[in-house]
Amino acid sequence: MHDEIKEVLISEEEIQKKTKELASVITEQFDGEFPLAVGVLKGAMPFMSDLLKRIDTHIEMDFMDVSSYEGGMRSTGEVKIIKDLNTKVKGRDILIIEDIIDSGLTLSYLVDLFKYRQANSITIVTLLDKPSGRQSDIKADLVGFEVPDAFVVGYGLDYQEKYRNLPYIGVLKPEIYS
């Protein structure tokens, strides 16, 4: 365990087991279809990579870099598109892949954007859900784990661009970010 991590909340083994379960549900849901998987950069990369390897149906992938955080710990409330999709979504079934739903502002923005762009359907899968931080009524269709109101890092989640490469989800020691 990294010395700046207070505790491991979700182990690498638990993440991989849950990812496999979620992939089975997605495979069944989209069997015979050709959905567009949209990874929300940068945090969703490890989860998206592991998830897509286990989905046993054709799937196209693209990425968006969208944020309501500006290097801090709390959402600014203003969502910015840093990198848009290269793929048209009109008439497509969209699978949004997120690392964590906290405030829900970014995800609400994406859902509204894809509806505006006339997506056929929108399914949201997230590795982590932190309902205590919610500032919108958005809900994921598929959730890996619910996490408490703690500063979690690892497996794509960061603090000041650090800890993304940890293979587990850990709680960051308060003295690191306070």
Burial bucket for residue 105 (CB in 10 Å: 0-12, 13-18, 19+): buried
User: pTM for the complete prediction?
Assistant: 0.93
DSSP, collapsed to helix, strand or coil, labels residue 132 as helix
Residues known to be catalytic = 102
Residue 171 domain flag: no
Query: What pLDDT, in 10s, does the model give residues 74-119?
Result: 656 788 899 999 999 999 999 999 999 998 998 999 999 999 999 9
Q: Over 70: is that where the pLDDT of 69 sits?
A: no
In a domain, 28, yes or no: yes
User: b/e for 50-59, b at 16 or more Cβ within 10 A?
Assistant: bbbeebeeeb
Q: What is the CATH number of the domain that holds 26?
A: 3.40.50.2020
Q: How many domains does the chain have?
A: 1
When the pLDDT of each residue in the chain is averaged and rounded to a whole number, the result is: 94
Say whether pLDDT at 176 is over 60.
yes
Tell me if 30 is assigned to some domain: yes
Token pair, residue 156, equals 């794509």
Per-residue pLDDT band for 67 (boundaries 50, 70, 90) equals confident
> What ranges make up the beta strands (E) of 35-146?
36-41, 60-67, 80-83, 93-101, 121-129, 142-146
pLDDT at 55 over 80: yes
Domain span holding position 77: 11-150
